[in-house]
Structure 1
Amino acid sequence: MPASIDHILAVTGRRSLSYIGHSMGTTMFYVMASMRPSYNQKVNLHIGLAPVAYSSRMKSVETVFKPFGQNVKWYEKAFKRYKRYELLERRLANPLPILCEDPLLRPLCYQISFLLLGPDIYQWPDKNIITAITAYFPAGTSFKTLYHFWQSVVSADFKAFDHGDIENMRRFGSFFPPRYNISAITAPIALFYSTNDYLSHPTDVRLLAYQLPNLVGMYKVPFPYFNHLDYVFARDSRSLLYDSVLCLLDSFNNKLERQCEMPTNRFNRNEKNFWRE
């Protein structure tokens, strides 16, 4: 990510840019901004959609991460033995659009997606939307990435990968991996979350928001069934989300004095209802 930011700024001649991240795309930004704080000056606004830093309350734990975590050592040995470290590779996932296009299998594809992401039949009215989604999702990840997420779920913390006592001591000078220093993330940040997101729980988002020193706002998408992928595929994403995002981008990049119509008012850390839904 630092190389990408430097390249964009070099090509455009700009001093800073805006970064929009979704899900793991937000995680990557928080890691970079905490470990390489000089890059905060190069980001005039970060917009986090379904942000993921803390993840102990995610509702997909039982369906995804718990089965993985219970067998993680077996998976680790198997991957090392066969020298394969990628999960859900595109060439393995490619049959999904074809399978989910079948009228008999399509309901099953919907149910599996809803178990992982949160149920929402209202923003996915087109019966073919599941075919489009499975053409891009899942997009593949590494075993180590999924293992790191599992560690975050178990530890209920946002910290570096736990390599084990010996390797941790060699890398970090401690038996335990260090926490990411969220207070070092000084770039302006706006967070968007939803109550039906099975991978980004509102309380976990609040925990992140509470520690950010330059929080622009934390906004709830005003639709009760908005799930983790609705940020990308929802039928009404423009009115529910994108208009607000574009207004924020306009305000921070063009320095316009305009009042953005946001889904909800900005949360104040000192308000009594900050931790309530």
Structure 2
Amino acid sequence: MRKIFIFTILVSFVFGVPTDELFLTTPQILNHRNVSYERHKVVTEDGYILSLIRIPRDDSNGVAVLQHSLSLDSAIFLVSQKRSIAMEVYNAGYEVWLPNFRGLRDSDQHTNPSIKKLDYWNFSFHEIGIYDVPAILSYVANVTKTKLIVINHSLSSTASLVYSSLKPKEAEGNVKVFINLASSAFMNHTRTPLKDFTGLQYNIIKPIMDIFGWGAVFYDHAPYVQLSKEIALILLPNNLMVSVFKIASGFLFGRSGMDYDPEEFPMIVSLGTQAVCSKILNHYAQLIESGRFCMYDYGKDENLRMYNSTTPPDYPLEDITAPTYLVISDSDSISDSWGSNVLYDQLPAAAKLYGKMDIKNVNHADYLIGKDRFVYFSKVLEFIKSIK
């Protein structure tokens, strides 16, 4: 606590920006803002203990669950104090739930306290889709006695597609509509240097992590990651960090022209680069390489044992019955418009009940942290309000 206090004073003194919410968890942020909330826990079928934060309201127009993306947790929906995605949904009249998937802050426990580290991290977005998402949504639907509006971004969009394709009746019973921002499914047309990530992941990152017994990136060396972020926040002016990130964002996530708010940026930096399971990276690398939306490829022998086939099966998108509303941007180079439209075309009519939304000048990161993110998100809120 003393270390964080001194760090906060330093950053605030040097840059004169709000720093009192750096590195905080979702409940800590809500405490700081005097927002009433409830803590909930749910245990998945395979023993992971997940955190859910509920922001209740008595006069609710419905219940919205906001599910996060890779390397982030639910706190990303609370950037910034002035105006955040979570509170925009709440102020539009909806009760808000903010869950964290397995392996992240407040969701890093297991019912087996002696589980081995590599066994704990033995999951991809497949397990999040068949265990975390159903546990979360079934719990929230049971508590609130209503069908849910589920807003996803990237990883959670992928996991929700897994859930609704493999457990279609359950998903239809729990969910009024999935709203998928940046759906990552068909990824072989990804327009980013990350497309070359497949070789790097298999040939360099995975062997190194296997040698050291690391199951997740940024987890075993989290103190060093935080220290590097603290140093950057102290030494680098906000405007410089924003300028560097804008260049990197355009290079990695798509050229959109959207800026980032210097006052929000310290909080964004503090929330990023959370634990990323290596197997999730492997699975996404397989999607990029194969051009299919398919289950994890364990190699021919293990595939034969698990799937009764030498190749992993595709997820049965044709079985989805829960309405699935895709928000597709022409500037997203990871969940690119080509792959998103391939996904849309493969969804059955029942899933396409509400159609899709095409937007412009929003890259993969802009959805959550772009300075003008509320321009597109106001349209998402209009859509939510239109649902009967």
Aligned pairs for 1:72-111 within 5 A: 72-89=202-219, 90-94=222-226, 95-96=228-229, 98-99=231-232, 102-103=236-237, 106=241, 107-111=243-247
Question: How far is the alpha carbon of 1:47 from its aligned partner?
Answer: 0.5
TM-score under structure 2 length normalisation: 0.59
- Aligned-partner SS, 1:53: coil
Superposed displacement of residue 76, structure 1? 2.7
Amino acid at match of 1:10: N
SS at match of 1:59: coil
Instruction: For 1:1-277, list aligned pairs within 5 A.
Output: 1-14=133-146, 16-41=147-172, 42-60=174-192, 62=193, 64-70=194-200, 72-89=202-219, 90-94=222-226, 95-96=228-229, 98-99=231-232, 102-103=236-237, 106=241, 107-124=243-260, 126-213=261-348, 214-215=351-352, 216-221=354-359, 223-224=360-361, 226-238=362-374, 240-252=375-387, 255=388
Q: Is the 8 A contact 1:37 1:185 kept in 2?
A: yes
Q: What CA deviation, in whole Å up to 9, does each residue of 1:89-129 have, x standing for no partner?
A: 444432236415603962434322332222345332x3344
Amino acid at match of 1:218: K
Shift of 1:228: 1.1
- Return the offset for 1:166: 1.1
Tell me the number of residue pairs that the alignment of Structure 1 and Structure 2 aligns. 246
Distance in 2, Cα, partners of 1:136 & 1:26: 20
Percent of paired sites with the same residue? 26
Is the CA contact 2:148–2:176 (under 8 Å) kept in the aligned structure 1?
A: yes
Which residue in the other structure is 1:275 paired with?
none
Aligned-partner Cα distance in 2 for 1:231–1:193 = 11
Which stretches in structure 2 are left out of the alignment for 5+ residues? Answer: 1-132
TM-score, normalised via structure 1 length = 0.81
Contact 2:177 2:323 in 1 (8 A): yes
- Answer whether contact 1:37 1:184 (CA < 8 A) is retained: yes
Shift of 1:175: 0.6
Residues 210-242 of structure 1, C-alpha deviation per residue, up to 9 Å, x if partnerless?
011121222122x43x2112111233322x322
Q: 4+ runs of 1 displaced by more than 6 Å?
A: none
The residue type equivalent to 1:45 in the other structure is V
The change in CA–CA distance for 1:96 and 1:105 in structure 2 (over 3 A counts) is: farther
Preserved contact between residue 201 and residue 285 of structure 2 (Cα < 8 Å) = no
Q: CA RMSD in A?
A: 2.2
Partner amino acid, structure 2, of 1:117: F
1:56 CA displacement? 0.9
1 or 2 for the larger relative contact order (CA 8 Å, sep ≥6)? 1
Structure 1: which 5+ runs fail to align? 256-277
> How far apart in 2 are the matches of 1:48 and 1:168?
30
- Counterparts in 2 of 1:110 and 1:40: CA distance versus 1, 3 Å: same
